[in-house]
Structure 1
Amino acid sequence: SGCGKSTVAKTILRLDEPTEGKAYFEGRDIFAMNKKELRSLRREIQVIFQDPYSSLNPRMTVGDIVAEPWEIHRGESPKGQQRQKVQDLLHLVGLNPDHINRFPHQFSGGQRQRIGVARALALNPKVIICDEPVSALDVSVQAQVINLLESLQDELNLAYVFIAHDLSIVRHISDRVAVMYLGRIVEIGTEEEIYDKPTHPYTQALLAAVPVPNPDQAGTSRVILEGDVPSPADPPSGCTFRTRCWKVQDICAQEVPELIDRFGHGHPSRCFFADTKISESVGAPIIAEPE
């Protein structure tokens, strides 16, 4: 939490202007786009917001909410068939098309999030940024919405930028995973690489904190980090994770490690000692021993 996940999403959409760096969409530099190009980009990249309550206008009907993108991008509006198209979208996300004239307060949290999904689909985007779309929902409803997103991805050939802090949900829905710490991506890999062969010490500590439901594995030793997350306004020099890292050495305070593939397998890691195992570390981590 607070590592910059949502800021990355806003920057991709140019809702926040970057202080440095570049981002590309289909070979085009997002930050160099003029207004016309940016308008086109926002048709192709849509958002599903975290809070299904505050992201829907309570004074608008469901039909008006889902159709609102067409008011902005009039060239995409289905001529003479707008109501039918809205009903088709409601049906697509698992809602009753006859509820088109209802208001948001007449729906549950999960249903409201489905309305947000329908709105995001209205312009036939190529990419949808999902900013913690299920974190405000009950666990059972979370599973329903995740399954909906997966089925829509297969049916409509969508790409997702899925932002979340729930490691189990990330593993379930993701093909590739990026781990962030204090404003920087520290590791990128496939779902299998990140969860089965993590190389950055922060990723290793995150996964070690996940409860193990298998009683046969109860009491397994775990890595426990020392200290608190530094202030983003005054981050440590060099590697921002070094103040909590058991692999830390002098170079970690002197240089910022690059996010590079250190093993030649397409699995970049921002750590000078990504190949060092916990047992080989210079500074031993705190271990929670089984009782």
Structure 2
Amino acid sequence: MAEPVLEVGGLVKHYPLTQGVLFRKQVGAVRAVDGVDFTLLKGETLGIVGESGCGKSTLARLLVQLERPTQGTIRYRGEDITGLSGRALKAVRRDIQMVFQDPYTSLNPRMTVGDIVGEPYEIHPEAAPKGDRRRRVRELLEVVGLNPEHVNRYPHQFSGGQRQRIGIARGLALRPGIIVADEPVSALDVSVQAQVINLMERLQDEFDLSYVFIAHDLSVVRHISDRVGVMYLGKIVEIGTETEIYDHPTHPYTQALLSAVPVPDPEAREHRDRIILSGDVPSPTDIPSGCRFRTRCWKARERCALEVPPLAVPEEFRTATGPAAHDSACHFAEERRVVPPEQSAG
């Protein structure tokens, strides 16, 4: 069993809503992340999926301390890093790096590629001797599949896929243990997506990395992830191995997400169990009582409005040993295959 490198417990991020000009008072809060728990193991890729607005990107910023949590803890290798600041926080940030979603806006257009990739060495000079940094930058560019001779070019001279490779090289500069990838391929063409995903898998083995991989594309997440967590309105509602989530989903929301994945085979498409959800996603400023998915769920009962379902193995599966016995936050969880077996791999 691999050791845990990141342990997240009860993580919450609420953004206050205020009104008034001279005397501002809080009248509510946007509950972007509302109690997230998970563990990331050494060398593992944990995928986080969910609809836009469910809190995935906020979770990513919390993990790298770009945002301060309202409450909860983040432990890195057993140490609570939630309240760190100054030099202590700077040291931890060296080990937890981020790859951003947009390869166009995440790179400074006024800096050369060599300066962008080498900038971490200016912030952490102990990571590389000053006279050795240019060589390190060239090596990193070569590792991510770029021409080291292009070190003096600017971001606008590269394609989207190449820019994302530059972002990955920058993330690798300090040899981190964890990389938080916030939708790193969503802005890229499908063929380029595959190249970047394959690159990240190769780098994971080469640099002994652990990934938190955030995306809304279920097929991409399945391709790279060892475990998958499904988020809805700021909470993880189901988490398990790739096989458990994709082939044996037990939460209604996960089943609805999987049923919306495009199926290229026309014959298989006819046999797909399509689930159409009613209503819209509730506002994160007004979360429903009990189960937050109940307003769109076809299984909703009175109990769903009164009790918050825990993220645990459902009672009916606790004596089982099959793949359906994984954590799912639903009072009436049941296994349901919504994608034909031959198509479920995406």
Give TM-score, length-normalised by structure 2: 0.78
In the TM superposition, residue 112 of structure 1 has moved relative to its aligned partner by 0.7
Deviates more, 1:35-44 or 1:88-97: 35-44
Note the C-alpha offset of 1:30. Answer: 2.1
Alignment match, 1:273: 332
Shift of 1:218: 3.2
Percent sequence identity over aligned pairs: 66
CA separation in 2, counterparts of 1:52 and 1:276?
Answer: 39
1:144-179: CA deviation from partner (whole Å, max 9, x where unpaired): 111110110111111110000001000001000000
* Alignment of 1:51 onto 2:110: no
Match of 1:172 among 223, 238, 244: 223
Question: Could you say what secondary structure the match of 2:230 adopts?
Answer: strand
Alignment of 1:212-291 (within 5 A): 212-220=263-271, 221-262=273-314, 263-264=317-318, 267-275=326-334
Tell me: CA distance 1:277–1:147, structure 2 relative to 1, closer, same or farther (3 Å). closer
Q: CA deviation at 1:132?
A: 0.4
Shift of 1:185: 0.5
- The residue aligned with 1:9 is 60
1:120 aligned onto 2:179: no
Equivalent residue for 1:28? 79
Aligned to 1:261, the other structure's residue is in SS state coil
Q: What displacement does 1:277 show?
A: 5.8
User: Partner of 1:31: helix, strand, or coil?
Assistant: coil
Alpha-carbon distance change, 248 to 144 in structure 1, aligned in 2, over 3 angstroms: same
1:118-157 deviations in whole A, cap 9, x for unaligned?
A: 0000000000011000111111111111111011011111
Tell me whether 160-169 or 262-271 shows the greater mean CA deviation: 262-271
> Equivalents in 1 of 2:199, 2:290: separation in Å?
42
Q: Which has the higher contact order (CA 8 A, sep 6+)?
A: 2
Segment drifting more, 84-93 vs 247-256: 247-256
Would you say the 8 A contact 1:78–1:85 is kept in 2? no
Q: CA deviation at 1:78?
A: 3.2
SS of equivalent residue, structure 2 residue 97:
strand
CA distance in 2, matches of 1:224, 1:8: 27
Q: Deviations over 1:173-230 (max 9, x none)?
A: 1000000001110000000000000011000010111122223223234111111101
Number of equivalences: 278
**1:206 is aligned with what amino acid?**
L
Answer with 146-155 or 259-268: which moved more.
Answer: 259-268
Aligned to 1:281: none
CA distance in 2 between partners of 1:65 and 1:209 (Å): 39
Letter in 1 for 2:241: T
The residue that corresponds to 1:283 in the other structure is: none
Name the SS for the 2:212 alignment partner: strand
| 2:220 counterpart of 1:161 | no
Compute the RMSD of aligned alpha carbons: 1.5
- Of 252, 259, 264, 1:201 maps to 252
In the alignment, the residues of structure 1 paired with residue 311 and residue 113 of structure 2 have an alpha-carbon distance, to the nearest angstrom, of: 44
- Which of 159, 171, 181 is the aligned partner of 1:130? 181
Change in CA separation of 1:198 and 1:277 when aligned onto 2, cut-off 3 Å = closer
Provide the secondary structure at the position in 2 that maps to 1:80.
helix
TM-score scaled by structure 1? Answer: 0.92
Cα pair distance change 1:277/1:193, threshold 3 Å: closer
Does the 8 Å contact 1:128/1:160 carry over to 2?
yes
Alignment of 1:34-113 (within 5 A): 34-113=85-164
Is contact 1:257-1:270 (8 Å) kept? yes
CA–CA distance in structure 2, aligned partners of residues 213 and 59 of structure 1: 43
Higher strand share: 2
Distance in 2, matches of 1:24 and 1:250, equals: 37
Is the Cα–Cα contact under 8 Å of residues 13 and 42 in structure 1 kept in the other structure? yes
CA contact (8 A) 1:128 1:159 kept: yes
Residue equivalent to 1:151: 202
The whole-number CA distance in structure 2 between the counterparts of 1:251 and 1:28 is 39
Structure 1, 250-259 or 173-182: larger mean CA deviation: 250-259
CA displacement at 1:34 relative to structure 2: 4.1
Unaligned runs of 5+ in 1: 279-291
8 Å contact 1:12–1:30 — kept in the other structure?
Answer: no
The equivalent of 2:191 in structure 1 is 140
Which amino acid is the alignment partner of residue 252 of structure 1? Answer: C
Unaligned runs of 5+ in 2: 1-51, 338-346
**Following TM superposition, by how much is the alpha carbon of 1:3 offset from its aligned partner in structure 2, in angstroms?**
0.1
SS in 2 for 1:54: coil
